[in-house]
Amino acid sequence: MSTYGEIPKIGFVSLGCPKALVDSERILTSLRADGYQTCPSYNEADLVVVNTCGFIDSAKIESLDAISEALKENGRVVVTGCLGKDENALKALSDSVLAITGPHQYEAVLEAVRAHAPMPKRRLLTDPGNENDIKLTPAHYGYLKISEGCNNKCSFCIIPSLRGKLVSRSIDSVMAEAEKLVDAGLKELLIISQDTSAYGSDIGYKEVAWHDRAVKSNFYDLCKELSSLGIWVRLHYVYPYPHVDKIVSLMSRAALLPYLDIPFQHASARVLKAMRRPAASQKILERISAWREVCPELVLRSTFIVGFPGETEADFQELLEFLDEARLERVGCFEYSPVEGAKANEIKIQVPDQEKKRRRQELMELQASISADILQKKVGTKMTVLIDENGGGPDNHFTIARSYADAPEIDGVVKIVGASQLVPGQFADVVVEGADEHDLYASVIVN
């Protein structure tokens, strides 16, 4: 730990989704602007900030374990993030931690740090390079959060109570940050929020001046502006509102990556109604068909919940039939987990844990076969990929890359043999030589 007159060192633990990761980046950047140092060791830190996740029980357990570990190893802990709003979960630890704040309460975190690890009156000047924002992702890709909160009332979710109602940033603020990231060398920008499609609806799609022209703070104008940056732009958490059709048209002109992350959650109209989610399988299938008509290269990623209270075997089979027909390229599946405060807890008919597990396994086995078939059709084709990790060398390790169809950490990858000359952040043209259920295998095209 720091001695008198030295700059305090702050440890940091970041948990949860990419939206929480962006919060962590902002807090760390603000701490550095204040003159604090960060360090990776509990022993060297003057205090530790833990940015928590509190969405589902498993996330709460992980967050509580992280807090307990930080208390044991360091003893001086500031808690922030979604779990910070759960008084019951933190009740046993409330007397042990220095301060507790909720999600995106950046100034409150800074005030807690300043109170318990004050800067010396005379402090060292920071390096010129420290003027840049701190990023917790690799240098070549990063997340851009366009709004906070959510206005939806899904019965399985408590995000609105944790993060509040939708609060959109104006488009000039979003674009200024995007351009700053591009100037710093970013090659791929991942757009995130709780409900990306609803961007701007809370501020009346406010019109502002941007580069000597008027632009509106709406989803379409934002995508159009982002598409002019000259880098990969990937959209996440897109609800299938009608105006998404216009976004797919932009993708067909190669202005955005033809990739949509849309959380459909289920296909049974009965289950979707209980979830308080829009649409049903037939309408979704019609939308998907129309999108692929406009943009044949479109890749769709979605997530689904099995074992939702009241879900019958017939409901589950309807979901499997939907997946078989929709042929989604990327799919994730979660067993329903009750969340304290969620309306779904009031549904009396619960699905046994063993049945949830069986349904998830069956769904993922079906999706694996669909994915394998889709990827097999890529063999022999050429594509541009973005390098994530360098490989090659005498031991013949793969160089890891991603195509436009692959979001980092959640989708598959492209494994390249004998490409030790490629470095992270570099684009390369490859030919696909093989495929399995999730990944492609390729070689570099030599010009």
Torsion of CA 417, 421, 426, 430, to 10 degrees: -40
Which amino acid belongs to residue 330? Answer: R
CATH for the stretch 382-444: 2.40.50.140
Q: How far apart are CA 275 and CA 234, in angstroms?
A: 27
Fold held by 9-122? Rossmann fold (3.40.50)
* Homologous superfamily in CATH for domain 141-376: tm_1862 like domain (3.80.30.20)
Of 163 and 333, which is predicted with more confidence?
A: 333
Residue 346, pLDDT above cutoff 90: no
What is the pTM assigned to this prediction?
0.84
pLDDT one-digit tens code per residue, 220-271:
999 999 999 999 999 999 998 899 999 999 998 878 999 999 999 999 999 9
* CA angle at 121 for the pair 120 and 125, rounded to the nearest 5°: 80
**Residue range 339-360: mean pLDDT, rounded:** 90
Q: How many helices and strands in the chain, by DSSP H and E?
A: 12, 20
Residue 3 confidence (pLDDT) = 52
Count Cβ atoms below 10 Å from residue 341 Cβ, excluding itself: 13
State percent of the chain over pLDDT 90: 67
Residue 94 has pLDDT above 80, yes or no: no
Between CA 145 and CA 20 the distance in angstroms is 10
The pLDDT assigned to 60 comes to 85
The mean per-residue pLDDT over the stretch 124-144 comes to 67
Same fold, 9-122 and 382-444: no
Q: Is residue 1 pLDDT above 70, yes or no?
A: no
Owner of token pair 């967050």: 63
Mean pLDDT over residues 52-64, rounded? 84
Given a contact cutoff of 8 angstroms between Cβ atoms, the answer to whether 231 and 257 are in contact is no
Are the C-beta atoms of residues 48 and 11 closer than 8 Å to each other? yes
Banded model confidence at residue 105, pLDDT cuts 50, 70, 90: confident
pLDDT category at 121 given cuts 50, 70, 90 is low
Mean of the per-residue pLDDT values of the chain: 89
Per DSSP, the three-state class of 207 is: strand
* Domain residue extents for the chain: 9-122, 141-376, 382-444
Backbone angles phi and psi of 428, in degrees to 5: -145, 150
